[in-house]
């Protein structure tokens, strides 16, 4: 599968919305220009087997509705990732029969055994996944702002090939009638670019918003699972603002909970 290289910073501020708006207003970052793209409204549904066989094999399968597009994404972890850097195999395909067949083949390569194809197939995407024995693991909604990162020295920056993407996400997890809000900024490298660019951009971002950005390597899927368990255990209330946003002190508490086997 193709490989993605990215790194994230959690927006750990008393007013994370204001911090996110400040970052969204940037048009230059160090030696680079930031070119805005249209915002995206994303709805993600993650599925797994009832005994979480995908998770045990460090694989995730996601059905994503992004504006008018419907895509399937299969991700697998890569042990070669350095500190703070996520390097993952990623296969993203438009929803189609051909896409499904390729996803099933990739899962088989990971050793994941699914139920056989039923004699009668459902047309609804989620029903098709359930037919293979998969169940919903997590649902979340994201408002995403995307900026193309291009070299500032390029006179025709709007036509330049992006070096990376800068993404500002507002992520809403809903559990048992409660909405928990997390914000983060992410840098994803374009194929063939030097990994050092990620560190350079993250350092420039931190300089623009001192004291509000926290290195954050927890995938959103794992974060949502930890948050739900903390909520059910009564260990999350102290770390929430009245609107459900995570307070700055929440992030060390979440890491301690997750690393402690939560």
Q: Is 116 exposed, middle or buried (0-12, 13-18, 19+ CB in 10 A)?
A: exposed
Q: What's the pLDDT score for residue 86?
A: 82
Q: What's the pLDDT score for residue 3?
A: 84
Could you read off the pLDDT of 46-83 as tens digits, one per residue?
999 999 999 999 999 999 999 889 999 999 876 555 66
Helix (H, G, I), strand (E, B) or coil at 215: strand
Region 196-217 average pLDDT: 94
The angle at the Cα of 104, spanning 99 to 109, to the nearest 5 degrees, equals: 125
Q: What's the pLDDT score for residue 159?
A: 63
Q: What's the pLDDT score for residue 82?
A: 60
Checking DSSP bridges between strand 59-66 and strand 213-216, what pairing results, if any?
unpaired
Region 215-230 average pLDDT: 95
Closest C-alpha among 254, 147, 262, 121 to residue 204: 147
The angle at the Cα of 253, spanning 12 to 6, to the nearest 5 degrees, equals: 55
Least confident range from 141-145, 189-193, 213-217: namely 189-193
The model's pTM: 0.90
Residue 121 has pLDDT above 90, yes or no: no
Mean pLDDT of the chain: 91
Query: How sure is the predictor about 262, in pLDDT bands with cuts at 50, 70 and 90?
Result: low
| Rounded Cα distance, 70 and 95, in Å | 6
DSSP notation for 87-99: EEEEEEEESSHHH
Q: Could you tell me how many residues make up the chain?
A: 262
Residue 11 has pLDDT above 80, yes or no: yes
Axis-axis angle for helices 220-232, 250-259 (nearest 10): 90
* CB 95, CB 72: distance < 8 Å: yes
Residue 208 has pLDDT above 70, yes or no: yes
* CB 167, CB 145: distance < 8 Å: yes
Region 139-146 average pLDDT: 97
Q: What's the pLDDT score for residue 73?
A: 96
Helix (H, G, I), strand (E, B) or coil at 124: coil
Could you read off the pLDDT of 179-204 as tens digits, one per residue?
999 999 999 999 888 889 999 999 99
Residue 224 has pLDDT above 70, yes or no: yes
Q: What's the pLDDT score for residue 135?
A: 96
């Amino acid at each position: 599968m193709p490989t993605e290289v990215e790194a994230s910073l959690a927006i750990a501020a008393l007013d994370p919305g204001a911090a996110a708006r400040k970052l969204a207003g940037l048009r230059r970052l160090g030696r680079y220009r930031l070119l805005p793209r249209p915002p995206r409204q994303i709805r993600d549904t993650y599925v797994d087997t009832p005994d979480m066989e995908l998770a045990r094999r460090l694989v995730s399968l996601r059905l994503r509705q992004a504006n008018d597009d419907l895509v399937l994404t299969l991700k697998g972890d890569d042990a070669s990732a350095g500190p703070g850097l996520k390097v993952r195999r990623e296969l993203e395909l438009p929803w189609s029969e051909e896409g499904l067949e390729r996803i099933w083949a990739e899962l088989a390569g990971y050793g994941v055994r699914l139920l056989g194809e039923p004699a009668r197939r459902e047309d609804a995407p989620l029903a098709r996944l359930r037919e293979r024995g998969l169940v919903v693991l997590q649902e979340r909604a994201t408002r995403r702002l995307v900026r193309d990162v291009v070299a500032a020295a390029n006179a025709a920056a709007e036509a330049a090939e992006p070096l990376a993407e800068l993404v500002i996400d507002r992520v809403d997890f809903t559990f048992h009638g409660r909405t928990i809000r997390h914000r983060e900024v992410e840098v994803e490298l374009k194929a063939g670019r030097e990994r050092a660019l990620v560190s350079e951009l993250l350092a420039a971002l931190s300089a623009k918003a001192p004291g509000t950005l926290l290195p954050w390597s927890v995938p959103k899927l794992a974060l949502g699972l930890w948050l739900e368990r903390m909520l059910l255990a009564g260990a999350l209330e102290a770390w929430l603002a009245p609107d459900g946003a995570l307070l700055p002190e929440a992030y060390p508490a979440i890491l301690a909970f997750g690393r402690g086997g939560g």
